[in-house]
Amino acid sequence: MPYLGAAYLWVKAAHLIFVIFLMAGLFMMPRFFVYHHQCAVGSDEDKKWIDRERRLLKIILNPSLILVWVFGLMLMVEIGAWHFGWFHLKLLFVLGLSAYHGWIAGYVKKLAAGQRPMTEKNLRLINEVPGIAAAVIVVAVIVRPF
């Protein structure tokens, strides 16, 4: 028995809105990292990048991830999604994106501490992760191949 009633479409819209915000942040942050790598540790520019990264994480990424999960779980319960194969694929990739978010948060802290553990080339490559995950998730949800 549905519990969201008339609110279902509003919850679905909110879920999608915050997915867009989250994805924008997940695409932006590794770009920020590339530019941050190009400045000297301890410089004024370094401090500006530390502040930009912290703000993107705290104002956009963290709240968006929380709201995506809240609204997504509400939708999952509403439609009984755990019974569908496509949902298991989506959930796997959503968990992967959540882990990617965690990695980003950790890398923000490393850069703030003056560490540069990855190369710019690797940061550019890792920036492809959210795009690939988004493609798989969209196909799983829209096409529902299984």
pLDDT digits 0-9 by tens, 87-135: 999 999 999 999 999 999 999 999 999 999 999 999 999 999 999 999 9
pLDDT digits 0-9 by tens, 46-77: 999 999 999 999 999 999 999 999 999 999 99
Q: Which phi-psi region, left, alpha or beta, contains residue 40 (left: φ > 0; alpha: ψ -120 to 50)?
A: beta
What pTM did the predictor assign?
0.94
Q: pLDDT class for 2, splitting at 50, 70, 90?
A: confident
pLDDT of 19 over the 80 cut: yes
Instruction: Detail the residues annotated as belonging to a binding site for heme.
Output: 15, 90
Per domain, the residue ranges of the chain are: 5-142
Instruction: Detail the residues annotated as belonging to a binding site.
Output: 15, 90
For residues 101 and 57, what is the distance between their CA atoms, to the nearest angstrom? 9
